[in-house]
Amino acid sequence: MVRGGGGERVAEAAGATGEALEGLRRQIDEIDERIVELLARRHGVIQRVVALKKSAHLPIYHPAREEYLISQRRHQARQAGLDPDHIEELYRSIMRQSRVRQTVHAATTAVRPGARVLVVGGGGQMGSYLARWFRGAGYVVGILEVNDWGRVKTLCEGVDLAVVSVPIHATVGVIRQLAPHLPGGCVLADVTSIKKTPVDAMLAAHRGPVVGLHPLFGPSTSSMDKQIVVASPGRDDEACQWVLDQLSAWGNIVMTVNAVEHDQAMDLVQAIRHFATFAFGRFLAQRHINLLRTLEFSSPIYRLELGMVGRLFAQDPALYADIIFASAERRALLKDYVESLADTQALMATGDRAKFSDEFHRIAEWFGPFCEQAMRESSFLIEKLVERF
């Protein structure tokens, strides 16, 4: 009887627990439904924001507004006893989705309706990417490829913007061949990753507005949201402004930088970085390293670094040869880099740990506060990589 009574009490307790759990689950479902409803309401307000931005030709991305919102939500999270990092990640995801939605709408709006755009090299990857965006916004888009020079005069008639999107080594020659056929008021732009030489060539060959552009992203990018485009002024900035406004309307962040400063930055950001990646991949190939086996022992950061090496070799070698060896100044800098490696080899040959530590500390001091920022950003990427794989 006692055992039976105990069993009944256990059953009753289990039943009460089940009912309580079911009630709590219903509350969670109701809250989740409410969250979705609130997100839908938020989206409705965003649609109104999109309409206002489109009518005023305002950029999609408003960094100050976004950072203010994040700060407010982090403060609210602390007050509510929640993890502010988690809330920040949640809201950055929500805001990115909002920007992408705004960009989709903006992509169909032309800042200069009815304008004619000619993309030279429009059959290539970046050229076809840009042509697709201009066409999607309602511009009249023409393509000039290698076999089209016989009808270049016809293709250039009435053109408001000509974009040269060809390999770096061919850019100057194409500019000289194209410019005599362009209307005087046509904006002439290029999208190569060096700016001084192309801008000078455009200024010399074309009497109208000139601007150098460098999209810091590839043609595989699905959205222009927060993508950076460098604009190097050439001539008649006012006449070129509608082109920059169109890029901003698509979600890009347009940075105006003179051509010389741009090229000096790209010597480091692109040439040295790509060359170092190439050299590391070449070393692995020469040693016949078993990549799959090393991945079994790899930390997330090694996998991330190796992924960037593999990414390089998955792409067009001609493109990277153009970037790495684009100018005499760039090749001279690469020579300095290789000589620096020789100095480092001398340090390695001695096996002097104390000297290595001293050098390490000296360099860390030079990097300064960026070290802490780099730790935060790389840790974020590593966590995402762990989640993914």
CA distances from 324 to 101, 269, 328 (A): 36, 11, 10
Nearest by Cα to 161 from 143, 185, 177: 185
Average pLDDT over residues 33-42: 92
Nearest by Cα to 186 from 205, 153, 166, 162: 162
Percent of the chain clearing pLDDT 90 (strictly above)? 58
CA distances from 207 to 44, 121, 183, 204, 328 (A): 47, 22, 9, 8, 28
**What sign has the CA pseudo-torsion 249, 250, 255, 261?**
negative
For residue 1, pLDDT over 50 is answered with no
Which tens digit of pLDDT belongs to each residue from 181-232?
Answer: 999 999 999 999 999 999 999 999 999 999 999 999 989 887 888 899 999 9
Contact 111, 205 (CB under 8 A): no
Q: Calculate the average pLDDT of the chain.
A: 89
Beta bridge partners of 117: 141, 161
Residue 333 has a CB neighbour count (10 Å cut-off) of: 17
* Exposure letters 244-282 (e unless 16+ CB within 10 A, then b): bbbbbbbbbbbeebebeebbeebbeebbbbbbebbeebe
Average pLDDT over residues 247-267: 93
Q: What is the pLDDT of residue 4?
A: 54
Which tens digit of pLDDT belongs to each residue from 55-112?
Answer: 776 766 677 777 888 888 989 999 999 998 888 888 888 887 777 766 666 666 789 9
Q: What is the set of domains in the chain, with CATH numbers?
A: 2-106 (1.20.59.10), 116-257 (3.40.50.720), 262-350 (1.10.3660.10)
Nearest by Cα to 160 from 201, 198, 117, 128: 117
Which tens digit of pLDDT belongs to each residue from 114-130?
Answer: 999 999 999 999 999 99
For 116-127, what is the HEC assignment?
EEEEECCCCHHH
Q: What is the pLDDT of residue 144?
A: 98
Confidence grade of residue 52 (pLDDT, cut at 50, 70, 90):
confident
Percent of the chain clearing pLDDT 70 (strictly above)? 92
Q: What is the pLDDT of residue 7?
A: 66
Contact 259, 199 (CB under 8 A): yes
Average pLDDT over residues 358-386: 89
Q: What is the pLDDT of residue 107?
A: 64
Tokens of 161: 């913007």
Q: What is the pLDDT of residue 54?
A: 67
Confidence grade of residue 18 (pLDDT, cut at 50, 70, 90):
confident
